[in-house]
Protein backbone atom coordinates (compact mmCIF):
# COMPACT_ATOMS: atom_id res chain seq x y z
CA UNK A 1 0.00 0.00 0.00
CA UNK A 2 1.53 3.39 -0.97
CA UNK A 3 2.08 6.03 1.69
CA UNK A 4 2.70 9.76 1.87
CA UNK A 5 3.40 12.14 4.74
CA UNK A 6 1.56 15.22 5.93
CA UNK A 7 3.45 18.36 6.95
CA UNK A 8 3.59 17.23 10.59
CA UNK A 9 5.20 13.91 9.62
CA UNK A 10 2.09 11.75 9.97
CA UNK A 11 2.28 8.79 7.59
CA UNK A 12 -0.81 8.39 5.43
CA UNK A 13 -1.48 4.99 3.86
CA UNK A 14 -3.87 4.77 0.93
CA UNK A 15 -5.24 2.39 -1.67
CA UNK A 16 -5.53 3.31 -5.33
CA UNK A 17 -7.99 1.69 -7.74
CA UNK A 18 -8.39 2.24 -11.46
CA UNK A 19 -7.19 4.88 -13.90
CA UNK A 20 -8.43 8.37 -14.64
CA UNK A 21 -9.25 11.53 -12.70
CA UNK A 22 -8.03 11.14 -9.08
CA UNK A 23 -11.03 10.89 -6.76
CA UNK A 24 -10.07 10.93 -3.06
CA UNK A 25 -12.63 9.10 -0.92
CA UNK A 26 -12.61 10.37 2.68
CA UNK A 27 -14.39 8.13 5.17
CA UNK A 28 -16.34 9.27 8.20
CA UNK A 29 -16.29 8.78 11.94
CA UNK A 30 -16.76 5.05 12.51
CA UNK A 31 -16.09 3.65 9.06
CA UNK A 32 -12.66 2.45 7.94
CA UNK A 33 -11.49 2.85 4.36
CA UNK A 34 -13.30 -0.41 3.52
CA UNK A 35 -16.51 1.63 3.71
CA UNK A 36 -15.83 2.72 0.13
CA UNK A 37 -15.28 -0.75 -1.36
CA UNK A 38 -18.95 -1.15 -2.47
CA UNK A 39 -18.78 2.29 -4.08
CA UNK A 40 -15.56 1.89 -6.07
CA UNK A 41 -16.99 -0.44 -8.79
CA UNK A 42 -19.47 2.32 -9.67
CA UNK A 43 -16.74 4.95 -10.14
CA UNK A 44 -15.67 4.01 -13.66
CA UNK A 45 -13.33 6.48 -15.31
CA UNK A 46 -11.80 7.64 -12.01
CA UNK A 47 -8.74 6.65 -10.08
CA UNK A 48 -10.20 6.07 -6.62
CA UNK A 49 -7.72 7.05 -3.90
CA UNK A 50 -8.81 5.67 -0.52
CA UNK A 51 -6.79 6.78 2.52
CA UNK A 52 -7.03 5.85 6.17
CA UNK A 53 -7.64 8.84 8.38
CA UNK A 54 -5.06 9.48 11.10
CA UNK A 55 -6.09 7.37 14.07
CA UNK A 56 -7.28 4.45 11.93
CA UNK A 57 -5.48 1.23 11.00
CA UNK A 58 -1.90 1.72 9.86
CA UNK A 59 -2.21 5.42 10.68
CA UNK A 60 -2.87 4.67 14.36
CA UNK A 61 -0.07 6.70 15.95
CA UNK A 62 0.03 8.15 19.46
CA UNK A 63 -2.82 10.63 19.08
CA UNK A 64 -3.87 10.65 22.72
CA UNK A 65 -2.69 14.22 23.20
CA UNK A 66 -4.55 15.54 20.18
CA UNK A 67 -7.09 18.11 21.38
CA UNK A 68 -10.40 18.76 19.61
CA UNK A 69 -9.10 22.11 18.36
CA UNK A 70 -6.34 20.24 16.50
CA UNK A 71 -8.38 17.42 14.99
CA UNK A 72 -9.79 19.22 11.95
CA UNK A 73 -6.44 20.89 11.22
CA UNK A 74 -4.82 17.45 11.34
CA UNK A 75 -7.46 16.12 8.98
CA UNK A 76 -7.10 18.88 6.41
CA UNK A 77 -3.29 18.55 6.55
CA UNK A 78 -3.45 14.88 5.60
CA UNK A 79 -5.85 15.64 2.72
CA UNK A 80 -3.47 18.31 1.44
CA UNK A 81 -0.62 15.77 1.52
CA UNK A 82 -2.79 13.24 -0.29
CA UNK A 83 -3.74 15.78 -2.97
CA UNK A 84 -0.06 16.52 -3.53
CA UNK A 85 0.68 12.80 -3.98
CA UNK A 86 -1.64 12.35 -6.98
CA UNK A 87 -1.38 13.66 -10.53
CA UNK A 88 -3.27 16.89 -11.08
CA UNK A 89 -5.96 18.44 -8.91
CA UNK A 90 -8.17 15.70 -7.43
CA UNK A 91 -11.87 15.58 -6.67
CA UNK A 92 -12.54 15.17 -2.94
CA UNK A 93 -15.52 12.97 -2.02
CA UNK A 94 -16.19 12.88 1.70
CA UNK A 95 -18.82 11.21 3.86
CA UNK A 96 -19.91 12.70 7.23
CA UNK A 97 -16.77 13.85 9.06
CA UNK A 98 -14.89 13.13 5.84
CA UNK A 99 -17.28 15.52 4.06
CA UNK A 100 -16.55 18.29 6.55
CA UNK A 101 -12.84 17.59 6.08
CA UNK A 102 -13.20 17.74 2.30
CA UNK A 103 -14.95 21.12 2.38
CA UNK A 104 -12.47 22.61 4.86
CA UNK A 105 -9.47 21.20 2.99
CA UNK A 106 -10.73 22.77 -0.24
CA UNK A 107 -10.41 26.24 1.32
CA UNK A 108 -6.60 25.81 1.16
CA UNK A 109 -5.89 22.88 -1.19
CA UNK A 110 -6.20 23.03 -4.99
CA UNK A 111 -8.95 20.61 -6.03
CA UNK A 112 -11.10 20.24 -9.11
CA UNK A 113 -14.33 19.72 -7.19
CA UNK A 114 -15.79 18.50 -3.89
CA UNK A 115 -18.59 16.03 -3.19
CA UNK A 116 -19.85 16.18 0.39
CA UNK A 117 -22.40 13.66 1.69
CA UNK A 118 -24.03 15.04 4.87
CA UNK A 119 -21.07 16.99 6.29
CA UNK A 120 -20.71 16.56 10.07
CA UNK A 121 -21.84 20.08 10.94
CA UNK A 122 -24.26 20.78 13.78
CA UNK A 123 -26.97 23.45 13.49
CA UNK A 124 -26.35 26.23 16.01
CA UNK A 125 -29.26 25.38 18.32
CA UNK A 126 -28.35 21.71 18.22
CA UNK A 127 -24.64 22.41 18.77
CA UNK A 128 -25.30 24.45 21.92
CA UNK A 129 -26.68 21.40 23.75
CA UNK A 130 -24.60 18.67 22.08
CA UNK A 131 -23.01 16.39 24.67
CA UNK A 132 -22.28 13.15 22.83
CA UNK A 133 -18.52 13.46 23.32
CA UNK A 134 -18.93 13.99 27.08
CA UNK A 135 -21.30 11.02 27.43
CA UNK A 136 -18.97 8.78 25.46
CA UNK A 137 -15.96 9.91 27.46
CA UNK A 138 -17.74 9.15 30.75
CA UNK A 139 -18.60 5.64 29.58
CA UNK A 140 -15.02 5.01 28.47
CA UNK A 141 -13.76 6.18 31.87
CA UNK A 142 -16.08 3.60 33.47
CA UNK A 143 -14.64 0.88 31.24
CA UNK A 144 -17.74 0.69 29.02
CA UNK A 145 -16.12 1.24 25.64
CA UNK A 146 -18.76 -0.76 23.76
CA UNK A 147 -21.56 1.26 25.34
CA UNK A 148 -19.74 4.46 24.38
CA UNK A 149 -19.67 3.45 20.73
CA UNK A 150 -23.30 2.36 20.92
CA UNK A 151 -24.24 5.90 22.00
CA UNK A 152 -22.59 7.21 18.84
CA UNK A 153 -24.45 4.72 16.67
CA UNK A 154 -27.77 5.58 18.33
CA UNK A 155 -27.40 9.33 17.97
CA UNK A 156 -25.72 9.60 14.57
CA UNK A 157 -26.76 6.51 12.60
CA UNK A 158 -30.17 5.86 14.19
CA UNK A 159 -31.30 9.19 15.59
CA UNK A 160 -34.94 8.23 14.89
CA UNK A 161 -34.58 5.03 16.90
CA UNK A 162 -33.88 1.38 16.12
CA UNK A 163 -35.96 -1.57 17.35
CA UNK A 164 -33.05 -3.88 18.20
CA UNK A 165 -29.69 -2.12 18.29
CA UNK A 166 -27.76 -5.26 19.25
CA UNK A 167 -29.22 -7.16 16.29
CA UNK A 168 -28.34 -4.29 13.96
CA UNK A 169 -24.80 -4.15 15.32
CA UNK A 170 -24.39 -7.90 14.81
CA UNK A 171 -24.89 -7.27 11.06
CA UNK A 172 -22.73 -4.12 10.92
CA UNK A 173 -19.48 -5.04 9.10
CA UNK A 174 -17.23 -2.87 11.31
CA UNK A 175 -18.64 -4.14 14.64
CA UNK A 176 -17.08 -4.84 17.11
CA UNK A 177 -13.65 -3.86 15.69
CA UNK A 178 -14.70 -0.21 15.66
CA UNK A 179 -14.80 -0.22 19.48
CA UNK A 180 -11.02 0.21 19.33
CA UNK A 181 -11.63 3.67 17.85
CA UNK A 182 -13.69 4.93 20.78
CA UNK A 183 -11.20 7.59 21.96
CA UNK A 184 -10.65 8.87 18.44
CA UNK A 185 -14.40 9.16 17.93
CA UNK A 186 -14.64 11.20 21.15
CA UNK A 187 -11.97 13.59 19.84
CA UNK A 188 -13.76 13.82 16.50
CA UNK A 189 -17.10 14.54 18.16
CA UNK A 190 -15.60 17.26 20.32
CA UNK A 191 -14.21 18.84 17.17
CA UNK A 192 -17.66 18.68 15.54
CA UNK A 193 -19.32 20.14 18.65
CA UNK A 194 -16.87 23.06 18.60
CA UNK A 195 -17.08 23.71 14.86
CA UNK A 196 -19.03 26.80 13.80
CA UNK A 197 -20.10 27.02 10.19
CA UNK A 198 -19.02 30.42 8.82
CA UNK A 199 -21.43 32.60 6.87
CA UNK A 200 -19.30 31.94 3.79
CA UNK A 201 -16.94 29.08 3.02
CA UNK A 202 -14.06 30.27 0.85
CA UNK A 203 -14.04 27.34 -1.56
CA UNK A 204 -13.33 28.23 -5.17
CA UNK A 205 -14.07 24.77 -6.54
CA UNK A 206 -17.64 23.65 -7.30
CA UNK A 207 -19.22 21.55 -4.55
CA UNK A 208 -21.95 18.91 -4.71
CA UNK A 209 -23.72 18.59 -1.35
CA UNK A 210 -25.70 15.38 -0.89
CA UNK A 211 -28.20 14.31 1.76
CA UNK A 212 -30.94 11.71 2.26
CA UNK A 213 -34.46 11.89 3.64
CA UNK A 214 -33.95 8.92 6.00
CA UNK A 215 -30.91 10.29 7.83
CA UNK A 216 -30.87 12.48 10.95
CA UNK A 217 -32.90 15.67 10.50
CA UNK A 218 -30.09 17.80 11.93
CA UNK A 219 -27.69 16.56 9.23
CA UNK A 220 -30.21 17.35 6.48
CA UNK A 221 -30.54 20.83 7.94
CA UNK A 222 -26.76 21.17 8.06
CA UNK A 223 -26.38 19.99 4.47
CA UNK A 224 -28.63 22.86 3.39
CA UNK A 225 -26.67 25.31 5.54
CA UNK A 226 -23.34 24.17 4.06
CA UNK A 227 -24.83 24.51 0.57
CA UNK A 228 -25.93 28.07 1.31
CA UNK A 229 -22.48 28.99 2.70
CA UNK A 230 -20.71 27.90 -0.48
CA UNK A 231 -20.30 30.23 -3.48
CA UNK A 232 -20.58 27.41 -6.09
CA UNK A 233 -22.74 24.59 -4.83
CA UNK A 234 -25.48 22.20 -5.86
CA UNK A 235 -27.70 20.42 -3.32
CA UNK A 236 -29.25 17.00 -4.04
CA UNK A 237 -31.52 15.11 -1.65
CA UNK A 238 -32.10 11.37 -2.10
CA UNK A 239 -35.53 10.07 -1.16
CA UNK A 240 -35.44 7.05 1.15
CA UNK A 241 -31.66 7.08 1.67
CA UNK A 242 -30.03 7.36 5.09
CA UNK A 243 -26.81 8.87 6.45
CA UNK A 244 -24.97 5.84 5.05
CA UNK A 245 -25.90 6.93 1.53
CA UNK A 246 -22.68 6.20 -0.41
CA UNK A 247 -22.45 2.65 0.96
CA UNK A 248 -26.22 2.10 1.01
CA UNK A 249 -27.03 3.35 -2.50
CA UNK A 250 -23.69 3.51 -4.37
CA UNK A 251 -25.18 3.32 -7.85
CA UNK A 252 -27.60 6.18 -7.18
CA UNK A 253 -24.96 8.35 -5.51
CA UNK A 254 -22.26 7.68 -8.11
CA UNK A 255 -24.66 8.56 -10.93
CA UNK A 256 -25.24 11.95 -9.32
CA UNK A 257 -21.47 12.42 -8.97
CA UNK A 258 -21.01 11.59 -12.66
CA UNK A 259 -23.67 14.10 -13.66
CA UNK A 260 -22.13 16.80 -11.47
CA UNK A 261 -18.65 16.24 -12.87
CA UNK A 262 -19.94 16.16 -16.44
CA UNK A 263 -19.29 12.47 -17.08
Residues 196-248: pLDDT tens digits?
999 999 999 999 999 999 988 999 999 999 999 999 999 999 999 988 899 89
Tell me what the mean pLDDT of segment 50-75 comes to. Answer: 62
- What's the pLDDT at 136? 95
Q: In what order do the strands lie in the sheet with 207-212?
A: 3-5, 11-17, 46-51, 21-26, 91-95, 113-117, 207-212, 233-238
Answer whether residue 179 is part of any domain. no
Answer whether residue 65 is part of any domain. yes
pLDDT at 105 exceeding the cut of 50: yes
Higher pLDDT, 184 or 9: 184
Query: How many C-beta neighbours within 10 Å does residue 237 have?
Result: 14
Number of domains in the chain: 1
Give the percent of the chain with pLDDT over 90: 54
- For residue 248, the cross-strand partners are none
- What's the pLDDT at 15? 87
CATH (domain of 65)? 3.40.50.1820
- What's the pLDDT at 62? 42
Whether the Cβ atoms of residue 53 and residue 26 lie closer than 8 Å to each other:
yes
Does an H or E element contain 132, and which?
Answer: helix 132-141
Range of the domain at 37: 3-123+198-260
Average the pLDDT over each of 3-7, 76-80, 151-155 and give the range with the smallest value. 3-7
Does an H or E element contain 77, and which?
Answer: helix 68-85
pLDDT at 133 exceeding the cut of 80: yes
Confidence of residue 57 (pLDDT cuts 50, 70, 90): very low
CA distance 20 to 203: 24
Cα 38 off chain centre by: 16
CA distance 207 to 116: 7
Answer whether residue 142 is part of any domain. no
Answer whether residue 156 is part of any domain. no
| Distances in whole angstroms, Cα of residue 89 to Cα of each of 6, 40, 80 | 17, 19, 11
Phi, psi of 12 (to 5 degrees): -115, 115
Answer whether residue 210 is part of any domain. yes
Whether the Cβ atoms of residue 158 and residue 207 lie closer than 8 Å to each other:
no
Answer whether residue 133 is part of any domain. no
CA distance 191 to 185: 10
Answer whether residue 141 is part of any domain. no
Tell me what the mean pLDDT of segment 2-25 comes to. Answer: 80
pLDDT averaged over the chain?
87
pTM, whole model, 2 decimals?
Answer: 0.89
Query: How many C-beta neighbours within 10 Å does residue 223 have?
Result: 24
Answer whether residue 94 is part of any domain. yes
Amino acid sequence: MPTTQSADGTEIAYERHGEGQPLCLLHGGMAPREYWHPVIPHLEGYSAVVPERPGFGTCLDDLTETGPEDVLARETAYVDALASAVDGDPVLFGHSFGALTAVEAATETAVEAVVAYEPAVLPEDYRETADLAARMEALIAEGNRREAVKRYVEQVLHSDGVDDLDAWLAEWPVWPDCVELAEEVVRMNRAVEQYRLPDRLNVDAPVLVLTGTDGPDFLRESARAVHEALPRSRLVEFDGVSHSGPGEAPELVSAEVDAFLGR
